[in-house]
Amino acid sequence: MNNTALKSEVDEAMPPPHILLALTEAQRAMSEIASLALCRRWLRSQPAGDGHGVMVIPGFLSDDRYNGPLCRYLQSLGYQAVGWQEGRNMGPRGDLLERALERVSQLAADSGGAVTLVGHSLGGIYARELAKQAPHQVRQVITLGSPFGEGRDTGSYPRRLFSLLNPDNEISIDQYVLAQPPRVPTTAVYSRGDGVVNWRSAIQQGSFPQAQNIEVIGSHCGMTYNPSIWYLLAERLAQAQGQWQPFERRSWQGMMFPTVG
């Protein structure tokens, strides 16, 4: 079977999330935002950072303001956490990724070492591709509900809007290349309650020694406000460069991370 036929079968088998998940996205995201206040003391008690740079890349139609609370939290732990400084993420237009790569290089220079890239949704696809281009400047990639996997063309509700807004600027990377992880440690965070993209397109398929999938409970739009994800980011970022180990769920964390693999 050739790649075209295989891709067609995968796409047909990957529908978008159930309509009820989509219709309740806003309410569930608001509950995640509200829950941060209850978890603030616990989150502040997480390990102090080593000062390395962290770039948080927003999802489609989002911007740095939406991810501001997450950046400030990571800064409070001691990281040089910044947004991508490209305004609203409308898609890979013009030399956007080239400019983002320059900012990654600058952040690495300013912080004195390789940086972590955290990308929400479409931002996670950017993060993975940036890490592929500059693996020596990226220490790890963490994606949040990012549909980089096979079936992404049909498994996402915003796909048609993305195509309308970017008729000449589609992500021109072959799907099977896009689904391959970068040569740096990679963590794919996903939720079966995702009401925007099919969670199956947001996990890393195949066996790779430095790639891990971690399930959380929550919505798609609220991922950068989800207390479980803030905790997970603090835990992942605290690892020393070159000493990455997969996340090991403790018994009491089963409700936070139902599946780790």
What's the pLDDT tens digit per position in 171-192?
Answer: 556 677 889 999 999 999 999 9
Whole-model pTM: value is 0.92
> Could you give the angle at which helices 96-111 and 122-133 cross, rounded to 10 degrees?
70
What's the pLDDT tens digit per position in 210-252?
Answer: 999 999 999 999 999 999 999 999 999 999 999 999 999 999 9
> In whole angstroms, what separates CA 160 from the centre of its chain?
21
What's the pLDDT tens digit per position in 107-153?
Answer: 999 999 999 999 999 999 999 999 999 999 999 999 999 999 988 87
Domains of the chain (ranges plus CATH)? Answer: 3-253 (3.40.50.1820)
Q: Round to whole Å and give the CA distance between 49 and 79.
A: 5
Task: Indicate if the alpha-carbon torsion angle 17, 19, 25, 28 is positive or negative.
Answer: negative
Q: Round to whole Å and give the CA distance between 261 and 259.
A: 7
134-163 burial by CB neighbour count: b if 16+ within 10 A, else e? beebbbbbbbbbbbbbbbbbebbbbbeebe
Residue 199 has pLDDT above 50, yes or no: yes
